[in-house]
Structure 1
Amino acid sequence: MNSGKRTGCATVFFIVLLVISLLLNFFFWNALQMRKGAGPEMKAPEFPEEYVAGDADRDQKIVLVRLQGLIAREEPGQFSESMVEDIELQLRQAREDRKVKAVLLAINSPGGEVDASDVLYHAIERTRRVKPIVVYMESVAASGGYYAAMGASYLLANDLSLTGSIGVVLQTFNVKDLLDKIGVKALTLKSGKLKDLLNPTREMTPEEQAYVQGLINESYDRFVGIVARERHLDLNELKTHWADGRILSGSMALQAKLVDQLGYFEDAVEKCKELGKVKTSRVVRYVPPFRLAALVRGLFGAETRAKGALLSPGRLPLISGRLYYLAPTLFGSGGFLP
């Protein structure tokens, strides 16, 4: 082997060792940080900031927080293990920073799980009590996305934003006829008559259907009740005209008084300054810290969470038997996709 080949092999070997060393160091550093914050008195992390717009020299800040994609605890986050916790952590830091005069929450979400949407609503409403929070609806802020937005001080949408879809959906499957066709029988042993509720191998009984519908109605009543209270609307009129699950454009939502204003991102920034009582400020966003899990997903080609994939049917993993504040019509063939 000539000296050139030996040098080349040695270089490759050195680079591989360097990469392995970096990964190991990152792993141990990440583990150390987790151990430091494992106690019950764990302090909220302080994320670094990145300039977005406005007067870069001003101390007063508007924090841009993005709520994107399916709202679910299982959805991985950039700041934490969950996208729900991501929003909570950013809002907490904004609340505790005296230089932050307002929060601009940009929503691009078709909704998601009932519980996760409610948790976000609570976190946003809690922030509103401390400082103003303006929602800017991008392409979609429907169902659970709209539910979460109810916690804000002010709602601004684009003319062509899709919002509304006030309602609850639960999905399950029935494969009884298929099993009968191929000669497969299911045996279910249970402790009570409702223990195998939504069993896909048999038909639902009228009693079961009424019980499940009652659960859906309870979640729906909470949703529409919050909208009526936060938007100062008559509950019965809201149920009759707008809260039947229909999708609304931004202009239709303004007519229905479900949003406060139509405009663009810069209009939302101006509203933040107005509510925050500042004439000028800089807009910043928090930068997520290094996380080993995120690095591994990137190295091995994990699915990109790009905005363009937001409405892809593959991004709608409805779990059978789980309640959703979701706008499933956005994912149908034809739908609203270009």
Structure 2
Amino acid sequence: MQEHNRAKVLAAARDELAERGFRDAKIDQIAERAELTRGAVYSNFPSKRALYFAVLAQEAARTSGSRYPPTARTATDALGDFARAWMARLPLAGEDRRSASRLGRDLLPEIVSDERVNQPFSQLTCLSAILLGLCLEQLPSSKRTASRMVQVAEIALTTLHGAGQLAAAAPGFGEPFAVVRACEQLAELDLDDTWQPAHLPHISPARPTDQPWTPPALTDALRDEPAHLDDDGVLAVLGLHRLAAIEEALRAAPPTAAVTAVLVTSNPGELGPLVRLIVTDLRNSLRAAVAPSAWPRLQIIHDESGDLAAAAGVPAVSDATETAVRIHDGRITARADGYGACHAAASA
């Protein structure tokens, strides 16, 4: 019954939000559309914003990405295809204001309006840039000399988010294909982007341990397939203020080691849907741009219940959590906590 009511609320909210926009949408009207009480809406979603994020996440999940396998063979082509997939979901100038592509027009203004959402969104965008940059690093570029491409990815995402805001605020402004071509050229910029964090030499080593590892069965949100949590490697439990730290694990772990990011938050009802939205949007755009063989070895787990974190020995989580463990032969063999934990566990 709970899942049935949740589905009714989401469907009703989608219609209300498409018709009125986020600010003018009313919970009472959503309840009436769903033929439920106001209390039934709030029993499924703690706030109107959480419901809005959940509607956008559901819409993103319905879009599986490109129907055709990516063909890019260079970083330039891949970044162009990524930008093209991103721009394709933006509303057109003459499009019906109730269309699915217009649902997201209030997303960034709503994020900007609340500091409690700013930092998680910033870190989710950092995570997106890290993964896009790592994909681009696997592809050749004619002019680039630096090995790291995360800064290029950051500039591309800045450009695309700006284009999205203008598509909502000034329909018809600019030429989408020009934005795509501009993003393509970013892949050839030499930004002297190197991986040399000043704090890494000062990180304390991971502590040896020997504990059983019995993770629950969960889904890798990056690929939308069952996660391989029994594989040897590094598992990092990261609060939404610490997501960028996963690059430390990806850079330091041996080439054959699996790397898993377990995303946790002290406010899963409100922020969980936002996390799902951003990861799903990233997955859809990557599918259109980069062959799976060039994707990073990272798995992403949405751990809103905290069950996987508890299995890793982290019973209490917050948005500042950073704990990493090393998995080997079904055992936890090393552990690190706090700033630099991802690097320490990956280097153990």
**Greater share of strand:** 1
Greater relative CO, 1 or 2 (CA 8 Å, sep 6+): 1
TM-score (normalised: structure 1): 0.21
TM-score (normalised: structure 2): 0.21
**Greater share of helix:** 2
